[in-house]
């Protein structure tokens, strides 16, 4: 972790004494630099396509105080130069950056040619054979290695000249290699499609520097995809055609006829796909359109197969599970279990307190007793942990279950390498978006059953789509809708309030009789709300319930910005609970005394209410 008390941008120049770390994939590097104006070596972190000891660097960035490694220079922009001193040249050549040269030959080359060694390698490579031990093969290796370095350096210079920061320049080079300059010159908007972390706005700025006109077809076409991507950020998989054209027009500031032409080209190349939804002609990003169709196909495929376990007599299984758990199942719960035991694909949905966990537990214990291979998963770490605690069986996040590979940015589990199970249970499925659900269903073998559990009244997934609601709405699979709130859960005002809101009724917001788990404190506006929240956290809740305001109380809010957003509340709560004083240090944008603990405000949607 680092302090966010970053100073204004500064420039650092110096000789790379040592490359402590360099990632070939991302270009991230940690350097020890002999910098101008600094007596000691400076630890510098940044990004470079290639970096070697002996090179001269120019970097712009900020100083940070790393919690583990101390003071560092964080370079937002880092440019490398060929070394110009004899010492630097020898260090550079001996680093192994150029094939055919190690420390021994580096010393011999510098001794023979001094500062002219780079000119000799490039302009008169035949003279390399004047050095003892360098024959035609080694000379050819050295010449080829130097040529590679030169190409990389020229590409990085080109990218820097056109406003591309170092980290992005490295990603561009790693993606396109020696074709990077050609790709950017011909169509910089490819960057937004091909490289994660580079969007339309960045590509548009680069295109402007390259002199590409606002009305260029490559720009208008890219803008259409970007408009759909923006809609995806709002949860949509597509947009009505008229709405998309209007959005693209505002974004691109070009004539309607150009947008119509660009849309036809995008449709012809199948970058986007047209389909009719209800009465509306809609346009989808083809990847999302295929993902939605893929989910439907996989649901049909999984549901069509035979049950992976022998027929189970529910009349015997239900009394057995009641005896094992000590619970008496309600009629609705028993019927849900019967349905799940005889169905290849089942959905169980309902709000908080309706017994979803009891039903899932019962199904799992019955099937485990029959030797059925079970896998449990949920979309978030918290949901998976809660599922593990509730079932006493290991539950994984979907990403971990599918064995996410960060290098390939994909999953190792898929149709060719399916999950090894007879039943897969997916909890908190309302949070699973279209792309993740498609990846998960791909990995479910046709021989396995699937149990989907979730509450459609929760907020939908952050990503595009509303998969759980659509699967339920399709009518294609058996669905158990639980509505009965059980006695223990009915004692919770949180749960009864949630069900009242879902049913369209105004909940009871009055002061409860005695202690309760839900209290409503009204506030007319942020100016009134903030001091009330601070008072609740700092005084009223600790006094009433004996909670420690820092260790035991968590504040949840649905946004980062605004008067009652996480950022504003963090500042106000810090001032009340951990005010600045003597002998305090600033870290992570906060001020701490030694031994202080921090209350974390989360932007958290992973709740029933």
CB crowding 522-548: b at 16 or more within 10 Å, else e: eeeeeeebbeebbebbbeebbeeeeee
Residue 66 reports pLDDT greater than 80:
no
Which residues, other chains included, contact 160 with Cβ-Cβ below 8 Å and sequence gap of 6+?
77, 79, 166, 169
| pLDDT band at residue 436 under the 50/70/90 scheme | very high
| pLDDT band at residue 399 under the 50/70/90 scheme | very high
Lowest mean pLDDT among 132-146, 191-205, 268-282: 191-205
Question: Residue 390: enclosing H or E segment and its boundaries?
Answer: helix 381-391
25: three-class secondary structure by DSSP: coil
Distance, CA of 32 to CA of 44 (rounded, Å): 6
- pLDDT digits over 550-590, tens only? 888 888 887 777 778 878 888 888 888 887 654 444 433 44
For residue 492, what pLDDT is reported? Answer: 64
For residue 102, what pLDDT is reported? Answer: 80
For residue 604, what pLDDT is reported? Answer: 36
| pLDDT band at residue 292 under the 50/70/90 scheme | very high
| pLDDT band at residue 449 under the 50/70/90 scheme | very high
The average confidence (pLDDT) of the chain is 81
For residue 401, what pLDDT is reported? Answer: 94
For residue 232, what pLDDT is reported? Answer: 79
For residue 418, what pLDDT is reported? Answer: 93
- Name the token pair of 314: 């529910």
Q: What is 124-164 written as a DSSP string?
A: -GGGGGGSTT--HHHHHHHHHHHHHHHHHHHHHHHHHHTT-
For residue 426, what pLDDT is reported? Answer: 94
For residue 514, what pLDDT is reported? Answer: 67
For residue 290, what pLDDT is reported? Answer: 92
- pLDDT digits over 260-290, tens only? 898 898 899 888 888 888 888 889 988 889 9
Fold of 10-160: OB fold (Dihydrolipoamide Acetyltransferase, E2P) (2.40.50)
- Please tell me which of 15-24, 235-244, 416-425 the model is most confident about, judged by mean pLDDT: 416-425
- Please tell me which of 278-292, 451-465, 512-526, 578-592 the model is most confident about, judged by mean pLDDT: 278-292
CA-nearest of 504, 510, 391 to 453 is 391
Domain 178-287: top CATH class: mainly alpha
Fold of 305-484: Rossmann fold (3.40.50)
Mean pLDDT computed over 496-521: 72
Distance, CA of 124 to CA of 600 (rounded, Å): 63
Domain ranges of the chain: 10-160, 178-287, 305-484, 526-592
| pLDDT band at residue 413 under the 50/70/90 scheme | very high
Residue 237 reports pLDDT greater than 50:
yes
Residue 597 reports pLDDT greater than 50:
no
Residue 487 reports pLDDT greater than 70:
no
């Amino acid at each position: 972790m680092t302090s966010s008390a970053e100073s204004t941008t500064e420039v650092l120049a110096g000789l790379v004494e040592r490359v402590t770390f360099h990632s070939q994939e991302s270009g991230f590097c940690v350097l020890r630099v002999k910098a101008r104006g600094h007596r000691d070596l400076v630890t510098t972190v940044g990004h470079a396509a290639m970096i070697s000891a002996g090179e001269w660097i120019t970097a712009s960035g900020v100083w940070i105080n790393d919690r583990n490694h101390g003071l560092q220079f964080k370079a937002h922009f880092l440019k490398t130069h060929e070394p110009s001193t004899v010492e630097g040249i020898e260090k550079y050549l001996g680093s192994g950056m150029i094939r055919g040269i190690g420390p021994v030959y580096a010393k011999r080359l510098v001794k023979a040619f001094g500062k002219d060694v780079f000119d000799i390698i490039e302009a008169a490579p035949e003279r390399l054979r004047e050095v003892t031990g360098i024959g035609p093969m080694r000379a050819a290796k050295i010449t080829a290695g130097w040529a590679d370095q030169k190409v990389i350096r020229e590409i990085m210079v080109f990218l820097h000249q056109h406003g591309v920061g170092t980290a992005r320049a490295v990603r561009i080079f790693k993606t396109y290699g020696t074709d990077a300059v050609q790709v950017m010159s011909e169509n910089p908007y490819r960057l937004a499609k091909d490289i994660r972390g580079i969007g339309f706005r960045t590509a548009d700025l680069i295109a402007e520097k390259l002199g590409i006109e606002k009305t260029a077809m490559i720009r208008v076409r890219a803008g259409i995809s970007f408009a759909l991507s923006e809609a995806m950020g709002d949860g949509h998989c597509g947009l009505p055609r008229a709405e998309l054209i209007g959005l693209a027009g505002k974004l691109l500031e070009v004539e309607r006829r150009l947008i119509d032409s660009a849309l036809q080209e995008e449709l012809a190349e199948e970058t986007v796909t047209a389909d009719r939804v209800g009465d509306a002609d809609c346009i989808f990003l083809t990847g999302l359109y295929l993902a939605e169709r893929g989910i439907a196909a996989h649901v049909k495929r999984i549901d069509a197969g035979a049950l992976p376990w022998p027929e189970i007599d529910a009349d015997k299984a239900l009394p057995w599970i009641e005896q094992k758990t000590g619970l008496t199942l309600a009629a609705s719960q028993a019927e849900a279990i019967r349905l799940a035991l005889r169905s290849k694909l089942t959905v169980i949905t309902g709000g908080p307190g309706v017994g979803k966990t009891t039903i899932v537990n019962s199904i799992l214990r019955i099937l485990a007793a029959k030797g059925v291979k079970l896998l449990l998963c949920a979309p978030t770490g918290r949901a998976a942990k809660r599922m593990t605690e509730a079932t006493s069986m290991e539950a994984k996040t979907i990403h971990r279950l599918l064995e996410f590979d960060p290098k390939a940015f994909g999953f190792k589990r898929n149709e060719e390498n399916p999950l090894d199970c007879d039943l897969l249970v997916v909890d908190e499925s309302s949070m699973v978006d279209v792309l993740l659900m498609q990846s998960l269903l791909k990995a479910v073998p046709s021989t396995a059953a699937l149990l989907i559990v979730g509450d459609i009244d929760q907020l939908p997934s952050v990503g595009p789509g509303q998969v759980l609601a659509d699967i339920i709405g399709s009518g294609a699979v058996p669905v158990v809708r639980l509505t009965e709130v059980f006695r223990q859960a009915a004692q919770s005002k949180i749960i009864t309030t949630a069900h009242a809101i879902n049913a369209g009724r105004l909940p009871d917001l009055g002061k409860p009789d005695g202690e309760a788990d839900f209290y409503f404190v009204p506030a007319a506006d942020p100016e009134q709300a903030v001091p009330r929240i601070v008072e609740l956290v700092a005084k009223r809740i600790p006094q009433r319930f004996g909670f420690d305001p820092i260790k035991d109380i968590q504040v949840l809010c649905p946004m980062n910005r605004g008067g009652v957003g996480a950022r504003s509340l963090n500042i106000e709560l810090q001032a009340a609970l951990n005010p600045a004083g003597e002998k305090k240090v600033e870290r992570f944008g906060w001020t701490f005394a030694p031994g202080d603990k921090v209350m974390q405000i989360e932007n958290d949607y992973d709740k029933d209410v």
